[in-house]
Structure 1
Amino acid sequence: MNKYELALVVNAKIDDEERAAVVEKAKSYITRFNGTVTDVEEWGKKKLAYEISHMREGFYYFIQFEADSDCPIQVEDNIRIMDNVLRYLVVRKEDKKQPEKEEA
């Protein structure tokens, strides 16, 4: 299993219940494709770097999960068509390994 992080930027003009439903739906896509959600970070409302769909602010969420290599593709395909998601990105998190010391 690999570790991944899903970054979501959600429409800031919707109410809290709808925003929570968007995040839950994204989490359900992860579990549907045999992934395991390990953590959800809510960064709150932030100003966007540029205007997206006539909006200047969005709510940022970061969802960490573990899954096989085919899960992120399936998750992105389903999140792509969600209404209130402005931007999304799934990245693989690298394991922090201790560098091996070379012996001379």
Structure 2
Amino acid sequence: MYILPPTLTEDEVPGATEKITNLLKDNGAEITKEVDLGKKRLAYPIEHHQYGYYRLLELSAEPSRLAKINSVLRLATNVMRHQIIVKPIKSQVTVEREQALRARLAVKRQQRAAAEAPSVSAPEPSPVSTPSLTPEELEKKIEKILEENPNV
């Protein structure tokens, strides 16, 4: 990753990026991925600048060439800051394990989603039906209750 100064205009950034890419290629680096992260605010001022153009590169190079690439980036006038991180190389076995783990996690997520789906849509309770009484039947029931309980 490297940061270009904000003194460059939007039109000059691609040209500066191309120069840095060519410098890296000339020093034995093969660029596999390049991402423009855009103009962002710096965490702290660098050379009295508050902003910078961030670029992320993924490259492959021989370990003996990394010191040379680091010194080239340090001496480049357009680069405010840079950082080289060495990614560990994964073996085929490690890659296969990670893919199997991702597949198992995906299956578990699908099972959880399927298990939670029925509980969300619980059946609605059916309304309790009360038998409707005719006025005559209602009158008889009231009289019966009053006869059984004279204090009411």
Band the TM-score falls in, shorter-chain normalisation: 0.7 to 0.9
What is the Cα deviation at residue 45 of structure 1? 0.7
Cα shift at 1:21: 2.4
Structure scoring higher RCO (CA < 8 A, sep ≥ 6) equals 1
Give the Cα separation in 1 of the matches to 2:56 and 2:43: 18
Greater C-alpha radius of gyration: 2
- Paired residues of 1:30 and 1:71 also in contact (CA < 8 A): no
Structure 1 residues without counterparts, runs of 5 or longer: 1-6, 100-104
Report whether the alignment pairs 1:90 with 2:81.
no
Distance (whole Å) between structure 1 residues aligned to residue 37 and residue 81 of structure 2 = 15
Give 1:29-68 correspondences, 5 Å limit: 29-68=23-62
Q: How many correspondences in the alignment? A: 93
Aligned CA distance change for structure 1 residues 45 and 78 (closer, same or farther; 3 Å): same
Separation (CA, whole Å) in 1 of partners of 2:74 and 2:44: 19
Residue 3 of structure 1: aligned partner: none
Which one has the bigger strand percentage?
Answer: 1
**More helix as a share of residues:** 2
Partner-residue secondary structure (3-state), 1:45? strand
TM-score between the two structures when normalised by the length of structure 2: 0.56
Q: Percent identity?
A: 23
Tell me the SS of whatever aligns to 1:21: helix
Q: TM-score, normalised by structure 1?
A: 0.78
